[in-house]
A and B are shown apart, each in its own frame.
Chain A
Amino acid sequence: DQQVKQNSPSLSVQEGRISILNCDYTNSMFDYFLWYKKYPAEGPTFLISISSIKDKNEDGRFTVFLNKSAKHLSLHIVPSQPGDSAVYFCAAKRGGSEKLVFGKGTKLTVNP
Chain B
Amino acid sequence: DVKVTQSSRYLVKRTGEKVFLECVQDMDHENMFWYRQDPGLGLRLIYFSYDVKMKEKGDIPEGYSVSREKKERFSLILESASTNQTSMYLCASNMGSYGYTFGSGTRLTVV
- Which residues of A are in contact with B by a Cβ distance under 8 Å? 6, 9, 32, 34, 36, 41-46, 49, 89, 93, 98-100, 102-105
- Report yes or no: A103 in contact with B99, Cβ–Cβ below 8 A: no
- Report yes or no: B42 in contact with A93, Cβ–Cβ below 8 A: no
* Interface residues in B95-111 (C-beta closer than 8 Å to A): 96, 98-105, 107
A36 contact set on B, CB distance < 8 A: 102
- DSSP majority for the B interface? strand
- Count of chain A to chain B residue pairs whose CB atoms are closer than 8 Å in the complex: 54
- Report yes or no: B4 in contact with A104, Cβ–Cβ below 8 A: no
- Contact partner of B42 (CB less than 8 A), chosen from A42, A46, A99, A105, is A105
- Report yes or no: B50 in contact with A43, Cβ–Cβ below 8 A: no
- Contact partner of B99 (CB less than 8 A), chosen from A43, A46, A105, is A46
- Report yes or no: B100 in contact with A46, Cβ–Cβ below 8 A: yes
For residue B86, CB closer than 8 A to chain A, the reply is: no
A43 contact set on B, CB distance < 8 A: 4, 90, 92, 102-105
